[in-house]
A and B are shown apart, each in its own frame.
Chain A
Amino acid sequence: MTDLLHFEDFRVGQIFALGTHTLAPEEMIDYAREFDPQPQHLDPAAAKDLLGGLAASGWYLCALAMRMMVDGLFIRSTSLGAPGVDEVQWRRPVRAGDSLRVDGEVLDMRDSSRPERGFVRFRFSMWRPKENGEDERVMMFTCSVMFGRRNLSAGAA
């Protein structure tokens, strides 16, 4: 398993592209039915008055970003999850049909109280193209993820 990304493999300033996803109405409604059954997430007519159209639950965007983070990065790493998230910003309503892109930038790295682990702090961002061709950040959160260290987990210590 030496090809897994360990703490030592990250560098401050690295940006990981974590894929693109076109939002289908079924997936946002599927999440909203179970966890966030508010009209703006379920009912297109009510949503039109409030946010200009059916909008994804902010928590769904976090769950979707998480899935893209796992598939694009964590699954090929020694990730042990994150003890929390510093700040989540839901900056724009996100709608069915939106073409979304997620990336993660390494902000800083620090030791853990456990010598076999370290923390990598990321800013994960969800982007959407604007009409002028630039991408706007529709959602972001910063969190510190625990990773195993290569030297100790490989038994080199």
Chain B
Amino acid sequence: MWFEDIPLGNKITLGSYAFTEENIIAFAKKYDPQPFHVDKDAAARSPYGGLIASGWHTSSVWMKLVIAYRHGRIAKGEEATQANFVSPGVREIRWLKPVRPGMIVTYTNEPFAKLDWPSLPQYGLIEGKNEAFDQDGTLVYSFINRVLIARKPIP
């Protein structure tokens, strides 16, 4: 898939992830060991009233689901294997609601802008709106991803 082939305004569901006490604590012990992410009792006494996932855990799961989604499409022949996507960064990460054990979070992606990237003219930049909802449909997380994708070679 080339830069030119990506449709704008096409919202896709990337997949879902079940946050558990176990995976919340395991992530946070490695990467974000603040009491309200790793210690049930301390979390219960905190303003959050219980254990909540590290925001970087919620963010990392998005990446995991993007890769799983692409692998699924490649396996079904809907997308060719190609050079992998490279990102110069992301914007406007919003951890809107605490993500707690027992929540099943579904992530969506919608490309909304195509931009030139002058330092790498053989690539174009896609910006996408990303949202994640809990099982009750409440928006818990959003951000804008930015990814460089190769332009179709000129024959």
Query: A residues near B, CB below 8 A?
Result: 31, 34-40, 46, 49-51, 57-59, 62-64, 66-67, 70-71, 74-75, 79-91, 143
Return 6 A-B CB contacts under 8 Å, by A number. A50-B84, A64-B31, A70-B32, A83-B96, A84-B93, A90-B88
Q: When A37-B67, A62-B59 are in contact, do A81 and B93 touch as well, CB less than 8 Å?
A: no
Which one of A36, A39, A46, A88 contacts B90 once the chains associate, using CB atoms below 8 Å?
A88
Residues on A with beta carbons closer than 8 Å to the beta carbon of B112: none
The answer to whether A66 touches B54 (Cβ under 8 A) is: yes
- Least CB distance from A90 to B in Å reads 5
Residues facing A in B38-95 (CB within 8 A) are 46-47, 54-56, 59-61, 63-64, 67, 83-95
- Least CB distance from A126 to B in Å reads 13
Residues on A with beta carbons closer than 8 Å to the beta carbon of B107: none
Residues on A with beta carbons closer than 8 Å to the beta carbon of B63: 35-36, 57, 59
The answer to whether B36 touches A63 (Cβ under 8 A) is: no
Q: When A67-B31, A82-B55 are in contact, do A58 and B64 touch as well, CB less than 8 Å?
A: no
Q: How large is the interface on B (under 10, 10 to 19, 20 to 34, 35 or more residues)?
A: 20 to 34
Residues on B with beta carbons closer than 8 Å to the beta carbon of A86: 91-93
The answer to whether B84 touches A40 (Cβ under 8 A) is: yes
Q: Could you count the A-B residue pairs with CB atoms below 8 Å apart for me: how many are there?
A: 94
The answer to whether A50 touches B31 (Cβ under 8 A) is: no
Which one of B31, B64, B67, B95 contacts A84 once the chains associate, using CB atoms below 8 Å?
B95
Query: B residues near A, CB below 8 A?
Result: 30-34, 36, 46-47, 54-56, 59-61, 63-64, 67, 83-96
- Least CB distance from A92 to B in Å reads 10
Residues on B with beta carbons closer than 8 Å to the beta carbon of A35: 60-61, 63-64
Residue of B nearest to A37 (CB): B67
The answer to whether A81 touches B36 (Cβ under 8 A) is: yes
| Apart from A36-B63, A38-B84, A67-B33, 9 more pairs, CB < 8 Å | A38-B85, A57-B63, A59-B63, A63-B60, A67-B31, A70-B33, A81-B55, A84-B55, A88-B90
